[in-house]
Amino acid sequence: MRFDVITIFPEYFSGPLDHGIVRRAREAKLLDVRLTDLRDFTPDRHRTVDDRPFGGGAGMVLKPEPVFAAVEKLREDSAARVILLSPQGPLFTQSTASRLAELDRVILICGRYEGVDERVAVNLADEELSVGDFVLSGGEPAAMLVIDAVTRLLPGALGNEESAAQDSFSDGVDGAGGVLDYPHYTRPAQFRDLAVPEVLLSGHHEQVRRWRRKMALGKTLQHRPELLARFLESESRQPEGATGRELLAELVEERRNQ
């Protein structure tokens, strides 16, 4: 898969792209990330990429001319989906990452300053995406988040393909897809006065699976309760055994008795 990133700070990516899963995916030729300096597409000697907004107001706005020129040049190679990273876009989710991982090529436009000329969003980008309900100084951190999340889903990028399937918000092999991940433990089984739950040491795979599913629902109930409605609507797709509603009822009863 190939990402083209349009940015005024290409040097920002020299660190994040050279570590961890993203680095390994690039070395294995599973991922190709190419950086395009937006200033290379400006016609003036000052390499101006922004200007004051029409109608007045604070801040500067990225001009449409260099953004259009950069995207059109990049699209000469092959077709690509163009994404504008913007606080105004729909929220980037695990489902979005899965959709993008199916594509051959994506162009990411990093916003900056007060925003980007609306003609880029309406007439050039295929979609806008936001990485959260907050404002960044620019789209570079958002672009890196998108690249990282999508890279994890590329076949062969992870040593164990089940790792991505079990991540929070994924479909999950333990029947709690779309919710937060279950708790993880490793050696030693006893650390100070803190012990690993006995069920994980039992060797009983069905009990472990049930416990993980229940704990995933418990974490979601505690931290992201709004996700549960979507999960419960998909009950018909869950593995056989106790339903999510039954496990949630058990959790509520246990907490009531504590």
pLDDT tens for each residue of 25-69: 999 999 999 999 999 999 999 999 999 999 988 899 999 999 999
The pLDDT value recorded for residue 57 is 87
The pLDDT value recorded for residue 113 is 84
The reply to whether 167 belongs to the active site is: yes
Inter-residue contact 114 to 63 (CB < 8 Å) = no
Inter-residue contact 47 to 64 (CB < 8 Å) = no
**76 to each of 22, 38, 69, how far by Cα in Å?**
26, 16, 11
The pLDDT value recorded for residue 258 is 80
Q: Which CATH class is domain 166-257?
A: mainly alpha
Find the catalytic residue in 50, 140, 167, 174: 167
Find the catalytic residue in 65, 114, 148, 250: 114
Per-domain residue ranges of the chain: 2-151, 166-257
Q: What Rg value do the Cα atoms of the chain yield, rounded?
A: 23
The reply to whether 114 belongs to the active site is: yes
Give tens-digit pLDDT for 214-237.
Answer: 999 999 999 989 888 878 777 655
Find the catalytic residue in 10, 128, 140, 152: 152
Output the CATH code of domain 2-151: 3.40.1280.10
Inter-residue contact 5 to 33 (CB < 8 Å) = yes
The pLDDT value recorded for residue 170 is 55
Inter-residue contact 183 to 221 (CB < 8 Å) = no
Q: Is the peptide bond before 90 cis (omega within 30 degrees of 0)?
A: no
Instruction: Quote helix, strand, coil % in the chain, to nearest 5.
Output: 45, 15, 40
pTM value is 0.85
The pLDDT value recorded for residue 229 is 80
The reply to whether 152 belongs to the active site is: yes
